[in-house]
Structure 1
């Protein structure tokens, strides 16, 4: 079953399978921007699994202070200072080899999801990758019970939230010059979706 909003223990449980899948796609990446880094669980694990990467964390302005505090408490200075990032506003200059987000699309309204894809396309290098992990729906298919319950709970909390259809995300990606590259089944009815920016450069 999918995680509750703000359930950082879920990030701890899921980091290993996420990075088992990510390592193949980011084996040569040198700069990664994480959107919605939470308490930096994934960022700290990235130091182990992708030590060649500069892993730049970011959070929405309203949650940025909590991320800064989490990194300060970890006493690990190998990660750059986290950025405050409103996906609908200005993005960092980049360029990045990848943009990664875990459990972000379903807590954003649709306009923010659109801005996420547009912003990622702007800061990615040619052939860079947008990687989103979380629960998603597939058009025409009945969702698994856990995802159906989670989707209903999100929409009860805020009608603008909710699990996103993979087909709708692929359409957004195409508008921004991103091509669907991989769709990986993950534990607990989650998926890792990966899109690649057009261009000949490899990293």
Structure 2
């Protein structure tokens, strides 16, 4: 399906500052929800920052927060750093971070944000995201995700079904996940699904928090 976007930063062509068309389309809508869900202060760890366009935009929009971008891909880290040269002081230098790793370079955060990763990575990366968030977040910490999901009681959009099939054709370990399966794994790590927000283009934003906060 040639109309679907690429899934790796290396697919976005040359140049130091790589651009993902979806980032320009969704940055405003994601930012509006983040304005409600993010804490007033502290460090936000963005896991899988991709090109770095979101990190720059959100650091500018939320100047009271420290913004820590990360990615496991060296090409992504180069792009994030390039965009960051125009960034404010609260935008930190990117760090290499593999969500599935047993230890992360950032040990504490007020919030963990993950945009468009869970469906284009092995399930082990999603579980690693939960494990890392459980280590990094305190009692008031928030785990926030954005992307396309399936839901057991909701008929999937045809475009998401097609997207899921295309992803699995590219890599059988990829594919859209169900909110319920992810939430069940989150619960074993001390998180509950606090809010679900419908987003444009058949995406969702999910807010996970400690249930006793």
TM over 0.5: yes
Contact 2:99/2:132 (<8 A) preserved: yes
1:106 aligns with 2:116: no
Contact 2:51/2:80 (<8 A) preserved: yes
* Distance of 2:43 and 2:183 partners within structure 1: 24
Cα separation, partners in 2 of 1:70 and 1:112, compared to 1, 3 Å: closer
Q: Which residue of 1 aligns with 2:67?
A: 55
Contact 2:48/2:71 (<8 A) preserved: yes
* Distance of 1:65 and 1:49 partners within structure 2: 25
Instruction: Structure 2: state its 5+ residue gaps.
Output: 13-19
* Distance of 2:187 and 2:26 partners within structure 1: 28
Cα separation, partners in 2 of 1:48 and 1:2, compared to 1, 3 Å: farther
Instruction: Structure 1: state its 5+ residue gaps.
Output: none
Cα separation, partners in 2 of 1:80 and 1:48, compared to 1, 3 Å: closer
Q: Which residue of 2 aligns with 1:168?
A: 181
Q: Which residue of 2 aligns with 1:40?
A: 52
Aligned length: 198
**Structure 1 position 126, deviation (Å):** 1.3
Contact 1:124/1:197 (<8 A) preserved: no
Partner SS state of residue 141, structure 1 = coil
* Distance of 1:178 and 1:3 partners within structure 2: 31
1:66 aligns with 2:68: no
Q: Which residue of 2 aligns with 1:144?
A: 157
Q: Which residue of 2 aligns with 1:189?
A: 202
* Distance of 1:123 and 1:144 partners within structure 2: 34
Among 92, 117, 130, which residue is 1:80 paired with? 92
Structure 1 residues 91-116: Cα deviation after superposition (integer angstroms, max 9, x where no partner): 12431111001100001111111111
* Distance of 2:106 and 2:82 partners within structure 1: 25
Structure 1 residues 72-97: Cα deviation after superposition (integer angstroms, max 9, x where no partner): 25522532111111122211243111
Among 98, 115, 128, which residue is 1:115 paired with? 128
**Structure 1 position 66, deviation (Å):** 3.1
Q: Give the TM-score normalised by the residue count of structure 1.
A: 0.90
CA RMSD in angstroms, aligned pairs only? 1.9
**Structure 1 position 132, deviation (Å):** 0.5
Partner SS state of residue 136, structure 1 = coil
